[in-house]
């Protein structure tokens, strides 16, 4: 990106707009980090910071344990500090993305 700060501002403006529009219909918007090349939100902390900055009651995190562990680890600490803004939790084992108790 030539201007990452400008990209961040545009992204946040668009997410805020979407949350405002969705609120009128009682819809909750969730942001999720994904560990994938060129994906904008890679780290759970990055998504949590956006949710907190935008301060929309209908804007939450989609916490995917698989992606969160791959991106930054410390799942328990992250959840303890951010459970108030989590709207959905998805669980899958790392590294195989299978059931958490399934071993190969």
From residue 40, alpha-carbon distances to 27, 31, 46, 57, 84 in Å are 23, 11, 10, 22, 23
d(CA 68, CA 85): 15
pLDDT tens sequence across 81-101 = 999 999 999 988 777 777 766
Nearest residue to 61 (alpha-carbon basis) of 79, 38, 73, 74: 79
> Span 11-34, mean pLDDT?
96
More confident residue, 92 or 24: 24
Q: How confident is the model at residue 49 (pLDDT cuts 50, 70, 90)?
A: very high
pTM for the model:
0.85
Helix ranges (H only) for the chain are 4-23, 44-54, 65-71, 75-82
pLDDT for 2 equals 74
Q: Could you tell me the sign of the dihedral formed by the alpha carbons of 54, 45, 33, 79, in that order?
A: negative
Contact indicator for 68, 91 with CB cutoff of 8 Å: no
Tokens found for residue 25: 């219909």
The percentage of residues in the chain with a pLDDT greater than 90, rounded to a whole number, is: 60
């Amino acid at each position: 990106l030539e201007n990452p700060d400008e990209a961040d501002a545009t992204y946040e403006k668009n997410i805020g707009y979407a949350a405002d529009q969705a609120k009128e219909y009682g819809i909750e918007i969730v942001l999720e980090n994904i560990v994938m090349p060129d994906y904008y939100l890679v780290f759970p902390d990055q998504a949590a910071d956006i949710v907190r900055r935008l301060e929309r009651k209908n804007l939450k995190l989609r916490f995917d344990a698989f992606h969160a562990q791959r991106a930054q680890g410390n799942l328990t600490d992250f959840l303890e500090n951010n459970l108030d803004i989590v709207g959905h939790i998805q669980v899958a084992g790392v590294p195989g993305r299978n059931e958490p108790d399934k071993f190969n």
